[in-house]
Amino acid sequence: MSQFDLSGKVAIITGSSRGIGKASAFELAEHGAKVVISSRKQEACDAVAAEINARYGEGRAIAVAANISDKAGLQHLVDATRAAFGQIDVLVCNAASNP
């Protein structure tokens, strides 16, 4: 039994197409969460979501491109997450924005 059981939880991880964000997404998925991979480039998000689904089962991850400095893009990220998984339980704010 895992100390961190996230089964039934949904996590959005910004900046998760590489680096710390990607590693965080894999850890959350390993502990049972459904994860939303997000960064500015859809193709990069798709690749990470495919890796997670291959490792942890189809439907564990989705990819939604979003620029965190764009309010409409953030709303799309939330709306797409709710449409796919019905809820949001965890938000990992890994991406940065430069004014």
pLDDT in tens, 21-45: 999 999 999 999 999 999 999 999 9
- Structural domain span for residue 29: 10-92
So what's the pLDDT on residue 96? 85
CATH of the domain at 14: 3.40.50.720
Q: Tell me how many domains the chain contains.
A: 1
Q: Is residue 24 part of a domain?
A: yes
CA-closest candidate to residue 28, choices 61, 65, 51: 61
Share of the chain above pLDDT 70, in %: 97
Average pLDDT of 50-54? 98
- Of the pLDDT bands very low, low, confident and very high (cuts 50, 70, 90), residue 2 is low
